[in-house]
Amino acid sequence: MLIFTEEEIRKYVQINDEVIQEVEGAFTDLQSKNVQMPPIMRVDIPENNGEVDVKTAYIPGHEMFALKVSSGFFNNYKLGLPSTGGLMFLINALNGQPEALLYDNGYLTDIRTAAAGAVAAKYMAKEKVHTVGVIGAGAQARYQLMALREVRHFKEINVCGRTKKRLLEFKHEMEEKLQVKVTIKENAESVVKNSDIVITTTPATEPVIQSEWVQPGTHITAMGSDAEHKQELDPEILRKANLYVCDVISQCEVLGELRSALEQNIVEKTDGIVELGEITSQKEMARKKVDDITVADLTGTGAQDTRIALYAYKKLTEEK
Amino acid sequence: MLIFTEEEIRKYVQINDEVIQEVEGAFTDLQSKNVQMPPIMRVDIPENNGEVDVKTAYIPGHEMFALKVSSGFFNNYKLGLPSTGGLMFLINALNGQPEALLYDNGYLTDIRTAAAGAVAAKYMAKEKVHTVGVIGAGAQARYQLMALREVRHFKEINVCGRTKKRLLEFKHEMEEKLQVKVTIKENAESVVKNSDIVITTTPATEPVIQSEWVQPGTHITAMGSDAEHKQELDPEILRKANLYVCDVISQCEVLGELRSALEQNIVEKTDGIVELGEITSQKEMARKKVDDITVADLTGTGAQDTRIALYAYKKLTEEK
């Protein structure tokens, strides 16, 4: 079994067009191949405000598949440790042997999550985007913007978040890295009303975006909700949207924005909800009109993990 | 993260009274503590006759918990590889960080499975046992007998299996290791009719033991069925038994001998089915009469994995 460290993985895998294509391929695989993707396994450790999730997916035609263990321990800041961590295994699909351990501390999850946002925006957002709004100023907010840059040429970023210091760091870093103007907004309302694309990257458990703020033509990618108690969007937004897309409907029903909307009977399962893989399979713009409101609900899939892990393995072994 | 190899693990962990006590503790934990043990995660790779299972359990009060990835690829003999494999992680329950990788190729699973058989026999089998019968002559058959030896002083072994060569190897090894007489029987009927304890260790998908063969006073441990399609016992045996014990009822309903018995309405969930942890919590003999028939249905639990992994970690780190 080969073992790769986060440092090695960061050296060989960065957000770029190849990575976005891999993740797009994962969504297409989910539609077109007999992917074996069991429900997410989860262990809660409430006394330590922690959870460990396991995701996996075997995609026929690949020699290996990933099994990912990821953790979120939200008191870790008190210990001076990052909240999230994780690693992936690549398991040989012919004989079951572990072939590689990608000890990435969650880096590949960050990359594949951001890439999914870019895949959604590629097919769902307006072609011409001036301003992107982001709720939250953490690592995933940065990665989402870097990935989005591969598919849309935006000029400005609006951001809001809880801590002034983190917002200033975010502004400084993103202005330098993406060569765009970053404006720190007072609140989410101001971000949403003044952005063509809005990305939510929070661990919120109550809506951070209200339906009445959402302007015609907006595309929203909500990637924060990945657990039964999380929620970022006012469920009315799902009814208001001209197009609402799940990464995987069965996951979004339990973990995503769809959960609250179904519970409150704001949408029904029969309301023409689309999976992202249906869109990527067709390779056509899913947005019909420039003024449509579109929403992507991303909970994170084992298929993405398998595709990004295979990509990382290829890069790591071909370069050595 | 510390990494331990199979060779190191085999050096420090063998079947003995300590290991059996750890596994007994796991069953007691399942009754007395708020153990977080999600359903088993499973990926099937039918084109390669393979499956990968993930088990885990967080037991409050322990600093770490195990997450186990185990594989069964039943065409591996064609590749000259063992059918089963696996490894365990120990994850820190305070902060989610992986602390150790026990790359044991399934060795600790063999040990904790055999130990569970011994725990069941300790409380369920007659005190005086002359002959133990075993169906199957593989590694787990050997481990079950070695573990059973820690709780019962048997004098003879009856065995049956499919391949003459393996049976002769088994006889030779067990006679030397346990200093008992091993008799190779023609068939399972002869094993069952002439043994005080019967252990089934097969991957059978149809009953290998018929109800009418089972004599008064027999204790049966069935450990082979751990998947939806497996079965070792005629379900009538569950009705005939004076005491029928599951490792975990919710798992046995899906994966164990209980599945067929429920499907065929031979037993009902209300029929006083007992979990092994109820027995270990009381620390009293569960068998009431010497002529009772008792059956233990073992599917394998994440709690056993966590306790054996913690034990292995302690042994591996204190000796270094």
CATH code assigned to B125-300: 3.40.50.720
**Sequential pLDDT tens for chain B (320 residues):** 999 999 999 999 999 999 999 999 999 999 999 999 999 999 999 999 999 999 999 999 999 999 999 999 989 989 999 888 999 999 999 999 999 999 999 999 999 999 999 999 999 999 999 999 999 999 999 999 999 999 999 999 999 998 999 999 999 999 999 999 999 999 999 999 999 999 999 888 999 999 999 999 999 999 988 888 889 999 999 999 999 999 999 999 999 999 999 999 999 887 789 999 999 999 999 999 999 999 999 999 999 999 999 999 999 999 55
What are the tens digits of pLDDT across the range B42-60? 999 999 999 999 999 999 9
pLDDT at B228: 85
Identify which of B38, B54, B72 has the shortest CB distance to residue A96. B72
Give CA–CA dist B269/A189, Å, rounded.
54
User: Is there a common fold for B2-108+303-318 and B125-300?
Assistant: no
Interface pTM, i.e. ipTM? 0.91
Binary contact (A73, B87; C-beta < 8 A): no
Contact A43 B60 (CB under 8 A): no
Out of A73, A79, A95, whose CB is closest to B81?
A95
Q: Which residues contact A200 (CB under 8 A, 6 or more apart)?
A: A134, A135, A136, A208, A209, A220, A221, A222, A223, A224, A232, A233
- Which pLDDT score is estimated for A319? 58
What would the pLDDT profile of A184-204 be if each residue is shown by its tens digit?
A: 999 999 999 999 999 999 888
Angle at A26 between CA A21 and CA A31, to 5 degrees: 125
> Which runs of E-coded beta strand occur in chain A?
2-5, 41-45, 50-57, 64-73, 84-92, 98-103, 131-135, 156-160, 181-184, 197-200, 219-222, 243-246, 274-275, 294-297
Q: Which two tokens stand for residue B73?
A: 């690829």
**Mean pLDDT, chain B, whole residue set:** 95
Q: Which residues of B24-41 are buried (b: 16+ CB within 10 A; e: fewer)?
A: bbbbbbbeeeebbbbebb
Q: Residue A109, SS3?
A: helix
Q: Is B1 on the interface with A (CB under 8 A)?
A: yes
Check: CB of residue A90 under 8 Å from CB of residue A313: yes
Q: Using 50, 70 and 90 to split pLDDT, how confident is the model at A168?
A: very high
CATH architecture of B2-108+303-318: 2-Layer Sandwich (3.30)
Single out the residue of B107, B54, B45 nearest to residue B73, CA to CA: B45
Q: Give the Cα separation of B302 and B108 in Å (integer).
A: 12
Q: Closest Cα partner for B218 from B119, B129, B118, B116?
A: B129
Q: Which residues in chain A are closer than 8 Å to B50, comparing Cβ atoms?
A: 93-96
pLDDT of residue B224: 87
Residue A58 per-residue DSSP state: B
CA atoms of B160 and B166, how far apart (whole Å): 10
**b/e sequence B233-249, b meaning 16+ C-beta within 10 Å:** bbbbbbebbebbbbbbb
Task: Determine, for residues B43 and A54 on separate chains, whether the beta-carbon distance falls below 8 Å.
Answer: no
B276 contacts: CB under 8 Å, gap ≥ 6: B27, B116, B119, B120, B245, B246, B247, B296, B298
Q: Do residues B133 and B190 lie in contact, with contact meaning Cβ atoms separated by under 8 Å?
A: no
Which A-chain residues 77-106 have CB contacts (< 8 A) with chain B? 79, 81, 84-85, 87, 89, 91, 93-98, 101, 103
The b-or-e profile of A73-107 (16+ CB within 10 A means b, else e) is beebeeeebbbbbbbbbbbbbbbbbbbbbbbbbbb
Closest CA to B295 of B258, B251, B266: B258
Q: Check CB contact under 8 Å for A103 and B1.
A: yes
DSSP H/E element including B258? helix B257-263
Distance CA B248, CA B207 (A): 21
Query: What is the CA angle A184-A187-A189, rounded to 5?
Result: 115
8 A C-beta contact, residue A184 and residue A160: yes
C-alpha B182, offset from chain centre: 21
Torsion of CA A316, A319, B1, B5, to 10 degrees: 90
- According to the model, what pLDDT value does residue A203 have? 85
Which pLDDT belongs to residue B150? 97
Assigned CATH for A126-300: 3.40.50.720
Region A302-310: what's the mean pLDDT?
A: 98
The residue ranking higher by pLDDT, A144 or A230, is: A144
For A81-122, the pLDDT digits (tens) are: 988 899 999 999 999 999 999 999 999 999 999 999 999 999
Is B38–A41 a contact, with Cβ atoms under 8 angstroms apart? yes
Domain boundaries, given as residue ranges, for chain A: 2-108+303-318, 126-300
Tell me the C-alpha distance between A8 and B314, whole Å: 31
pLDDT value of position B238: 95
> Dihedral of CA A233/A238/A244/A245: which sign?
positive
Distance from CA of A4 to the nearest CA of B (A): 13
Distance (Å, rounded) from C-alpha A76 to C-alpha B276?
A: 37
Query: Which residues make Cβ contacts (< 8 Å) with residue B232, sequence separation at least 6?
Result: B135, B200, B202, B204, B207, B208, B209, B222, B224, B225, B257
**C-alpha span between B75 and A210 (Å, rounded):** 55
Residue of B nearest to A73 (CA): B95
* Lookup: tokens for B104: 């044991």
- pLDDT for B226 equals 83
For the beta carbon of residue B140, count every other beta carbon within 10 angstroms.
Answer: 21
DSSP reduced 3-state for B316: helix
Q: Which of B69, B73, B91 sits opposite A95 (nearest CB)?
A: B73
Q: How far apart are CA B223 and CA B206, in angstroms?
A: 14
Encode pLDDT of B276-293 as tens digits: 999 999 999 999 999 999
Torsion of CA A196, A201, A206, A210, to 10 degrees: 0
- Contact residues on chain B for A44, CB-CB shorter than 8 A: 36
Mean pLDDT estimate for chain A: 95
Q: Is B123 an 8 Å CB contact of chain A?
A: no
According to DSSP, the β-strands at B156-160 and B181-184 are parallel
